Amino acid sequence: MKQTQQYLKAQNSIVPLFEPESLAVVGSFKEGRPGAYRVIKNLLAFGFPGKVYPVNPLYDTVFDRKVYPSIREVPQSIDLVVVITSAQVVPEIIGHCVEKKVKAAIIVSDGFAERDEQGARLQQEVVSIARSSGLRLLGPNTIGVVNPYVGLITSQYGVLYEKIHTGSIALCAQTGLIGPSTMPFEDMHYGISKICDFGNKCDIDEIDLLEYLGNDPKTKVIAMHLEDIRDGRSFLRKVKEVVSKKPVLILKPGRTEESRKALASHTGSLAGEDRIYDSAFKQAGVIRVSTYKELFDLAKIFAYQPLPAGNRVAIITMTGGGGVMGVDVAVESGLVPAELSPETIERLAEISPWLASNPVDLGPAAVVVDNFFSHYEEIVETVLKDRNVDCAAIVFSGVPRVLDYQIFARLKTKISKPVAFWIYGPKLSLAEEFARNLENHGFPAYPECEPAIKALGAAFQYSSIKSRFSQAEEKP
Amino acid sequence: MKQTQQYLKAQNSIVPLFEPESLAVVGSFKEGRPGAYRVIKNLLAFGFPGKVYPVNPLYDTVFDRKVYPSIREVPQSIDLVVVITSAQVVPEIIGHCVEKKVKAAIIVSDGFAERDEQGARLQQEVVSIARSSGLRLLGPNTIGVVNPYVGLITSQYGVLYEKIHTGSIALCAQTGLIGPSTMPFEDMHYGISKICDFGNKCDIDEIDLLEYLGNDPKTKVIAMHLEDIRDGRSFLRKVKEVVSKKPVLILKPGRTEESRKALASHTGSLAGEDRIYDSAFKQAGVIRVSTYKELFDLAKIFAYQPLPAGNRVAIITMTGGGGVMGVDVAVESGLVPAELSPETIERLAEISPWLASNPVDLGPAAVVVDNFFSHYEEIVETVLKDRNVDCAAIVFSGVPRVLDYQIFARLKTKISKPVAFWIYGPKLSLAEEFARNLENHGFPAYPECEPAIKALGAAFQYSSIKSRFSQAEEKP
C-alpha cells in the first residue's frame, strides 16, 4: 500500500530504543503463544538488567511480576514500550505512551500500512499521536530490536539459542528475515552489536539508525537491507558522514523492474530506478552488496580485521586449482595478485622451490618436503610481512592436521594486514569447527573461495573510500 | 610447465577406467600412510566386487591377499592398474601394463609435467609407451576416479565417510579439490554417478569423459571444472552432441589475465582469451558457471527435477523480503515472475486475500488465518498446477513446524514442474535436517536464496538449449 500522507520526521534521539533503562510490554501473556509473554520470557532469559513492566488489564501477574492494567498506571518512568496488541487498540496505547512521556515505542503489531488502506490510515493516526510529543516509533509490523550488550531482545517468538554473541556488527533490515527466530546467529558465531527490523518504517528509519550506529562505540560495521529509502538527499548526507567513520554495507533489492513491482506490493514503497541508487551509493561511499548472504559475509572482515593499505593480495593455498579460482575472484573484486619481493621468494625457495610464486601453492611442496607443516607458520608470516603484500587469502582443508591453532593466535599479534580464510574439507562439521576456531582467533573464515576473497576486496574498497573522503576533507 | 610435444590421442574406450572387473594397485603397502595400502583399504571398505591385486616386490601379503612382485606375475587379466610409486619407476610399470594388455592405468604419482622439464619428459615417455598398445592413461598427478555404483575409489588418502551416495551427478575436475578426501560428499548428501580428477591430462581428457558420461545411463548431468581445453574443435563437437542428451555445466577459471598467468604455472596450459571460451560454450549449449560452489548447486536441480516448459516462476515465500530478493535473482537468471491465472488467484483469495499475487507471500496470511498451515499443501499445489506457472521457488524456515514431509512426497507424485527450496532458519542443524529431508524426497534445497533461483534459471536455460538443438536437427 502506498504511504498516503507526507512523512514528517521526529528529531528525538533513538538511544532509548536500544538502551532503555525501563521497558513495558503491552500484549497477551498467554503462555506458550507468540506475544508479550514471550518477550518477557526472552528478556529474562537474556538477562536484561533494566526494569520490565508487563501491561494488560486482563492479567494480575506474569513471571511473578505485577501486570499493570495500563501504561499510565506504571508508577515509574518508562523509556521504551513494546506493543503487541491488535492494530485497533494501538492508537489508544500510543496515546497512553504520550501521556506517560515514554521515549520510544516498538509497534510489533501488524495490520497497518502493509495490509490495506484502512491499516494505512490507522498507522497515520498512530504517527500523528506520537508526533505531538516527540515519542519515537519503530514499526509497525516489526520484530523490533536486539542489543546483546544489555540483554535486550523484543522478539515475540521463541528464540532457539541462549545468547547472541556480543560483537561489532550492526544489522538492520526491512524484513523479518533479520529476526533472531529466523537467522542462525548462534551458528554464525560472530558478534553482533545491534539488530533492528525497520518494519513499516512509520517513523524510525535508516537515517536514524545511521545516526545512532555511526556514534555507537560498540559498532564497527553497519550492514543494512533496505527495500526503500525515504529521503534520498538526507540519507546520502548522513551515510557519507557515517562512512567517513565506519563501513556501511547495503543490500538494496529492486534491481529489476519486476522486483520493484513486487516491492511496491510488499512495502507500499515506490522504489526509484536502480541506477539512481547505484550511483548515489557509489558517491556516498556505500559498499553495495548483491545478496543477503553477502551482507553478512562481508561484514565479518570489518569486524575482525584491519584495513589493507593497498590491493595486492597473496593467496596461500593447499591446492593449485583453488589458487587459480581465487585469482579470478580477486581481480573481479578490485584486487591484484601481489608480486612477492625477491627476499620473500628467496626465503620460500629455501623451504621449497615450489613455493616461490603467488599464489603460493603448498600442494606440490607438501609432498616433497619432509615434515612440511612445521614450516607453515614461517611461510604464512614471510608472505604476510612482504612489503609487496597488502592482504592475504588462506586456503586450507578443515581436517585434523599437524596445524596448531596457536599459529593463528600468534599470527594475529604479529601481523596487521587483513587475512581471510577459505576452509574446505571432507566433513562439514570439521570444517565448521576449524572455521569457528579461526574466528575465535579473529580471522574471518568462509566455506567457499568467493566470499573470502570478496571480503578482502570489500576491505580494500572501504580503505580507498576512506582515504578519498579524508583527502577531500583536507582540501581547502 | 608447458607441454613439450604434440599430443596424439588414443581411441580405446575408457569404460575400464570406471567399470573394471579386475584391478591392480602398485605402490607402498605401509600401513597408515597415504598410498597403495589406503587404496586397497578404501576398496574393501567401499565393497568393490571385482578382483583386486596388490603389486610390490617388497611385500608378501596385505589384507590377507597375496602381493605380486610385478603386474606381469598376476595370473589373471587386469582391466585397470592404479600406480602410486615414485615417478622414476612409472615408465617401467607402464611397460609391464602394456605387456600384460592392461586396458587403463591411473597414474596417481606426481613429479611429472606439473613439476619440471625433466618431469615433462618422463611424462612424455610414459605416454609413448602406453600409446604403442592403446593403453589409456589417467593423470599423472591425479586422485583418480570414484564409481560409487561398484564401490570403486582410487584415492590414496583415507576417506572420512563410509559411502558416497549413488546418484546421477557426474563430477570431473582438473584439481584434487574434487577428491573424496577434500569434498564433503556425505554432507552434500546428493547422489554421485562418477567422479574423475583429470590430473595432468596426459591422455584421458574432457573429450573422453564427455563421450563416456554422455553414454553412461547412470549420469543425468555432467559438472566439469576445466583449467584448459586441449582440442577446442573436437571438444565443441563432442560437447554439443552430449548436450543434446544431458546438461553439461562447466567452470572454466582463467576469466582474467592474472588468473591465466597463475594457470600457466599451475597446469602448464596456455589458456586462450576468455571470451573465446565464453562464446564457444554458448554456441555448444554449455551452461557456464562462475564459482566452484555453483557447479554443485546447479547440478542438483538436474539430478532431482524435471525441466520446465517455460521461464515463468512462482515464488511461494514465508517472507515478503525474501520474495522480492528472489524476483531480482529470477530476472537476472533469465526467468520472469509468473502472472497467476484468474482461477488460481480466486482459489488463493478464498484462503486469504493476502495470497493472491506472485510472489505468494504467506507471512501476512499466516497471522490472520486460523490454522493456516493446514492450507499449505493446497496453496503450493494450486500455484504449481497453474497453467501460467512453469517452475517454483519455495522459501521456508527450517524449524519444527506443522508441516509434514509427506506433503512434499505427495507433491513429487502430483507435479511435474521443477521446484527448488530456499531453507533458512535460526539453527543451521535444523535447516540442514529439513533440507536433507526435502532432498530425500527429490527436491533440491539450498541455504540461500540465490542458488535456489539460479538453479531454476539453469533448468530453463538447458530446456531452451535442448529445444533449440532439436529444432536445428529437424531442419532439412
Strand, helix or coil for residue A386: coil
Whether A182 sits inside 8 A of B254 (CB atoms) is no
Lowest-confidence region among A2-16, B146-160, B192-206, B313-327: A2-16
Cβ within 8 Å, pair B266-A448: no
| Residues of chain B contacting residue A430, judged by C-beta atoms under 8 Å apart | 160
Chain B: closest CA distance from residue A266 (Å): 6
B270 to chain A, any CB pair closer than 8 A? The answer is no
Tell me how close the Cα of A127 comes to any Cα of chain B, in angstroms.
22
pLDDT computed for residue B11 by the predictor: 63
- Residue A14 near chain B (CB below 8 Å): no
pLDDT of residue A162: 59
Nearest chain A CA: its distance from B474 CA (Å): 36
Q: Is B35 on the interface with A (CB under 8 A)?
A: no
For the stretch B340-350, pLDDT in tens is 999 999 999 99
Q: What integer is the mean pLDDT of A21-41?
A: 93
Our CA dihedral for A342, A345, A347, A352, rounded to 10 degrees, sits at -160
The DSSP letter of residue A7 is -
B185 versus B467: the higher-pLDDT residue is B467
Q: What is the mean pLDDT of chain B?
A: 91
CB distance A278 to A342 below 8 Å: no
DSSP H or E run through B348: helix B342-351
Q: Residues 277-296, chain B: which have Cβ within 8 Å of A? A: 291-293
B81: pLDDT strictly greater than 80? yes
Most B CBs within 10 A among A42, A162, A177, hence the mutation to make, goes to: A177
Cell (9 digits) for A406:
596457536
In the chain, the amino acid numbered B213 is L
| Sign of the Cα pseudo-torsion (A389, A393, A398, A399, in order) | negative
Residue B82: closest CA among B74, B68, B71: B71
Helix axes B274-284, B232-243, angle to 10 degrees: 30
CB spacing of B291 vs A449 below 8 angstroms: yes
Contact A258 B357 (CB under 8 A): no
For residue A346, give the amino acid letter. Answer: E
Shortest Cα distance, chain A CAs vs residue B295, angstroms: 12
pLDDT, tens digit, for every residue of A86-111?
A: 999 999 999 999 999 999 999 999 99
Q: Over the stretch A310-341, which tens digit does the pLDDT of each residue have? A: 999 999 999 889 999 999 999 999 999 999 99
**Partner residue facing A322 (CB), from B177, B323, B331:** B177
CA distance A257 to A276: 13
List the 347-386 stretch of B: residues with Cβ below 8 A of A: 354, 357, 359, 361, 363-364, 367-368
CA pair distance A138, A53, nearest whole angstrom: 19
Is the backbone of residue B175 left (phi > 0), alpha (psi -120 to 50) or beta?
Answer: beta
Identify the weakest region by mean pLDDT among A262-271, A408-417, B216-225, B259-268: A262-271
pLDDT at A2: 33
What ipTM was reported for this prediction? 0.91
3-class SS of residue B167 = strand
Is A55 in a helix, a strand, or coil?
strand
B342 upstream amide cis, omega within 30 of 0: no
CA separation (Å) from B48 to B145, B150, B312, B319, B400?
A: 13, 6, 45, 48, 40
B139 near B111, Cβ under 8 Å? no
- Residue B213 CA to residue B220 CA, distance in Å, equals 9
Whether residue B391 has pLDDT greater than 90: yes
pLDDT at A402: 57
- Return the H-helix or E-strand segment holding B274: helix B274-284
CB burial of A393-421 (b: ≥16 within 10 Å; e: otherwise) equals bbbbbbbeeeeeeebbeebbeebebbbbb
B110 touches chain A (CB under 8 A): yes
